[in-house]
């Protein structure tokens, strides 16, 4: 992997292996990423309780949910997965990965999500587009590992932190996507504070792809890893 490959790579597993082997990701980011991948299945009529459990997994990733709470959410959702006929399916496997209390098998999550899509009728083109989308979100979460961006603490005033908290908490649900308008407010707050780092502003400005929990700029503002 080199910088050029990183920027255009559409193979989630290769990207994730690279990040892990260099210690450039975290258990938190990997679980949030797995949650995002699972949500790509929403068009396939995933039961509500299952989507709620994924929100619990995100809280767990952020240290705001106990292992017991995670297990309860998982058990409640499994009943619905059974009821809707997802037992022993790739959907079930992907969900089990997301809800696993210790460590997350993130590549297995991706494989199962894509397999589930295929089994539910998504064609080759659609799967290819999904790979691209998923890879882009890995970049959203990790930026460019060849050019680390370090946010100067002075660039984070109270307004900016508050706006970033709102971006993090007030998402478009159930997809779990950051609200573009809130991201723009963050850009304006940075500009008002005289902060002009184009790597940061350019990233927030980039609305062609999705920003999700784990977005490396919002994480930097909120001191999350
Ligand atoms: Zn982002």
Q: Decide if 212 contacts 140 (C-beta within 8 A).
A: yes
Q: What distance in angstroms lies between residue 95's CA and the mean position of ligand 1's atoms?
A: 24
- H helix or E strand, kind and range, residue 191: helix 180-192
Q: What distance in angstroms lies between residue 218's CA and the mean position of ligand 1's atoms?
A: 7
Residue 197, sorted as left (phi over 0), alpha (psi -120 to 50) or beta, turns out to be beta
Q: What distance in angstroms lies between residue 111's CA and the mean position of ligand 1's atoms?
A: 23
Per-residue pLDDT, 65: 96
Mean pLDDT of 173-185: 95
| DSSP tally for the chain: helices H, then strands E | 12, 0
Q: What distance in angstroms lies between residue 136's CA and the mean position of ligand 1's atoms?
A: 10
Per-residue pLDDT band for 199 (boundaries 50, 70, 90) equals confident
User: Alpha carbon of 53 to those of 81, 106, 124, 153, 200: distances in Å?
Assistant: 12, 17, 29, 34, 32
Q: What distance in angstroms lies between residue 103's CA and the mean position of ligand 1's atoms?
A: 24
SS3 of residue 212 by DSSP:
strand
pLDDT in tens, 2-15: 999 999 999 999 99
Q: How far apart are CA 23 and CA 163, in angstroms?
A: 29
Per-residue pLDDT band for 150 (boundaries 50, 70, 90) equals confident
Per-residue pLDDT, 173: 95
- Lookup: tokens for 38: 């699972």
- H helix or E strand, kind and range, residue 14: helix 12-21
For ion ligand 1, residues whose CB falls within 5 Å: 140, 211, 215
Q: How many CB atoms lie within 10 A of CB 59?
A: 14
In whole numbers, what is the pLDDT of the chain averaged over residues? 94
SS3 of residue 197 by DSSP:
coil
On the question of pLDDT at 152 being above 80, the answer is no
């Amino acid at each position: 992997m080199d910088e050029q490959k990183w920027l255009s790579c559409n193979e989630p597993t290769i990207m994730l292996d690279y990040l892990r082997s260099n210690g450039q990701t975290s258990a938190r980011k990997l679980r949030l990423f797995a949650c995002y991948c699972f949500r790509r299945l929403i068009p396939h009529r995933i039961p509500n309780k299952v989507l709620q459990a994924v929100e619990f997994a995100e809280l767990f990733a952020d240290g705001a949910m106990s292992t017991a709470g995670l297990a309860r959410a998982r058990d409640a959702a499994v009943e619905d997965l059974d009821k809707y006929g997802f037992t022993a399916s790739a959907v079930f496997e992907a969900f089990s990965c997301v809800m696993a209390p210790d460590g997350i098998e993130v590549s297995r999550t991706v494989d199962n999500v894509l397999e589930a899509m295929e089994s539910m009728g998504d064609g080759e083109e659609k799967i290819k587009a999904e790979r691209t989308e998923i890879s882009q979100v890995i970049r959203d979460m990790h930026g460019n590992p060849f050019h680390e961006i370090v946010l100067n603490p002075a660039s984070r005033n109270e307004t900016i932190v508050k706006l970033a908290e709102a971006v993090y908490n007030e998402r478009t649900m159930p997809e779990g996507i950051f609200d573009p308008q809130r991201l723009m407010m963050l850009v304006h707050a940075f500009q008002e504070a005289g902060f002009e780092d184009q790597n940061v502003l350019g990233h927030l400005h980039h609305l062609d792809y999705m920003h999700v929990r784990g977005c490396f700029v919002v994480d930097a503002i909120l001191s999350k890893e």
